[in-house]
Structure 1
């Protein structure tokens, strides 16, 4: 049996039915498996704040015969990370720099093609409508997905007044930033293997508050889909220690363009306001390259005039 993916799969599969203490253990193991592998059941419970018996029952609930077998699965998870490095060496070790460039770009192009073929167009349309109707838009993407969340949040802020990109190093900070989320709001959760338990907790909390939940993830089997009403799936697998986030970024680009087409006048007004602010406060020096060509500026200006 291949325990490398097995433990992660079991955590994802059983998460919906876990108790509060078991979910704390699942979150700790997902984020700190390289530390958890060296801990006894008692020490692991102490780290997480649960009893030793809860840890033992947790291992049993996941299908292991006892804590020692669960610990061996943790060892395999750590070893799997090292195996990924060896696998990357096997795939790319004999390649030249230009061959690596060619292989990676071709692989990413294929992921975008496969994503295009498999993505649910109705889910995409639903995501656009849900975001347009929301009072506040929350964006959650942690670890390697944090840049995607920042990118999405940056451009959403050009179109909408109330956008919050969640920044956190702990679950408690997440809830502090989401304390006012409600049924008129939406959260967009971005997560790919290894899935972030903190992102999952944010989606669970939002769902419990009756907010709408949109996910950008890799599979219908992703635990992120437990609480979502709208799933946008993008390919991210890669034969290395890195995740390929090119296809997810393309999906985000498409989402932003679709929203921009619905919010053209708001975008124009935001850009005009920013221009005046930059001029008034001399944000940019004379060496700054103008980010909008005259033709584009005229197009936006004309759009603004027709809206008056």
Structure 2
């Protein structure tokens, strides 16, 4: 098995002079840069001379500086290949985890509860969405999408709980909470306030035994039965899209249609979209 330059240097390092050790130290610390330096340039970088660099190559068993530099380049390229393979392994692992979650989602999703959620959305006089930390992106997406179809849709602040935000909710309102690991205390505080008001509570979480999943009137989960520490927010976005599409298909009243028409007119007038 071919030895790397670092292995060769470590073997001969004790026999090198102080000046030669400077070159050896530089080679181990700056392998990528060394692959493209001339002997003269390397000597200057290491604080020695071109002659010392050439002597080091002979002491290490090479036929000269060019031969040593070839090994430096090969080691650097090999290391790059290892790094790329490790990065590729990470990407593949994430894709596999996401794929497994999505494959399980249709079978674990309770379609009765999903329909209840859509019905509650349609019937609600107001909708308040609570999401914090890693869940905030999913909450914001649902908030943005629902406002195309409903009036009176509100979103929690990402940094904390404002009691005033829930002051307009009634017993006919719907409170939607996104709660994923690590579960935030703000979610529990918001849920308690919604309960006190009497609003219907819809919780979207990773599994039914999560801290707040057990307190829901309507529960939608994304990762039932998984034992891995890997958690994904992507299925929560999928469930959000499902709710919006379900609402869109059920909404046939004039208020929603007129709201859509006004929005499209505003979009066109402001030239918001590229196409």
Instruction: Please indicate the TM-score interval, normalised by the length of the shorter structure.
Output: 0.5 to 0.7
Give a deviation string over 1:117-137, Cα, whole Å, max 9, x none.
112111111111111110000
Partner secondary structure for residue 289 of structure 1: coil
Q: TM-score, normalised by structure 1?
A: 0.56
Instruction: Please state how far the C-alpha of 1:182 moved relative to its aligned partner.
Output: 1.6
Aligned pair partner of 1:113 in 103, 108, 122: 103
Aligned pair partner of 2:112 in 100, 112, 122: 122
Asked if residue 263 in structure 1 is aligned to residue 251 in structure 2, the reply is: yes
Q: Does the CA contact (< 8 Å) of 1:234 and 1:247 recur in 2?
A: yes
Give a deviation string over 1:77-123, Cα, whole Å, max 9, x none.
xxxxxxxxxxxxxxxx8943333323212220110121221121111
Asked if residue 152 in structure 1 is aligned to residue 139 in structure 2, the reply is: no
Give a deviation string over 1:171-221, Cα, whole Å, max 9, x none.
3x2x11111222010100001111111111111110111110000001121
Query: CA separation in 2, counterparts of 1:247 and 1:101?
Result: 18
Q: TM-score, normalised by structure 2?
A: 0.63
Change (3 A) 1:210 1:187: same
Post-superposition, which runs of at least 4 consecutive aligned residues in structure 1 deviate over 6 A?
236-240
Q: Determine which structure has more spread, i.e. the larger CA radius of gyration.
A: 2
Query: CA separation in 2, counterparts of 1:219 and 1:243?
Result: 11
Unpaired stretches in structure 2, ≥5 consecutive residues = 1-82
Asked if residue 275 in structure 1 is aligned to residue 264 in structure 2, the reply is: yes
Q: Does the CA contact (< 8 Å) of 1:112 and 1:250 recur in 2?
A: no
Unpaired stretches in structure 1, ≥5 consecutive residues = 1-92, 291-308
Q: Give the aligned length.
A: 191
